[in-house]
Amino acid sequence: MEWTFENSITTEEELREIMGHPSEIVTRKTIDYIVGHCKSFIEKSPFITIATADLNGNFDVSPKGDPAGFVKILSDKVLAIPDRPGNRKADTLTNIIQNPNLGLIFLIPGIKETLRVNGEAKIVTDERVLDLLSCQGKNLHLQ
């Protein structure tokens, strides 16, 4: 059976009539740098999801995890995320080559809050970054 819908929301005005607008406190949460509480959350998170899209808008959301602190904070605007060996499909990486925009969600088990980070990605092979992202004595040196 195919679903058909008689009513759908097609404009932001229609959406806001139903949902209203966010409070100033909520909108102030959106910042373009990593502050103390964000840094602490990132350092304690053992699991993230990465959302990427290719040039055609086909999305992928991939899980990444390692011991807490596996995502390294290089500056207040730069994070380094390791890509461990997996199925070699490399959807996230091929999407980043085509379209650098991404979204991250940091999660900490047992904590109801999450941390969202949006930005642009680069795939880097700098030795000092790969060394920084090593885990359990295993480096990320690409082969």
pTM of the model: 0.85
Task: Write down the pLDDT at residue 85.
Answer: 74
**Cα-only R_g, the chain:** 18
Which residues are paired to 116 by β-bridges?
105
| Contact by Cβ (8 Å): 37, 43 | no
Q: Which of 51, 34, 33 is nearest to 42 (CA)?
A: 34
8-state DSSP, 36: H
Return mean pLDDT, the chain: 91
Rounded CA-CA distance 52/104 in Å is 9
For 25-49, how does the pLDDT look when each residue is reduced to its tens digit (9 = 90+)?
Answer: 888 887 888 988 999 999 999 999 9
pLDDT value at 139 more than 70: no
Q: To the nearest whole percent, how much of the chain has pLDDT over 70?
A: 94
Domains assigned to the chain: 31-132 (2.30.110.10)
Residue 143: pLDDT band by 50, 70, 90 thresholds? very low
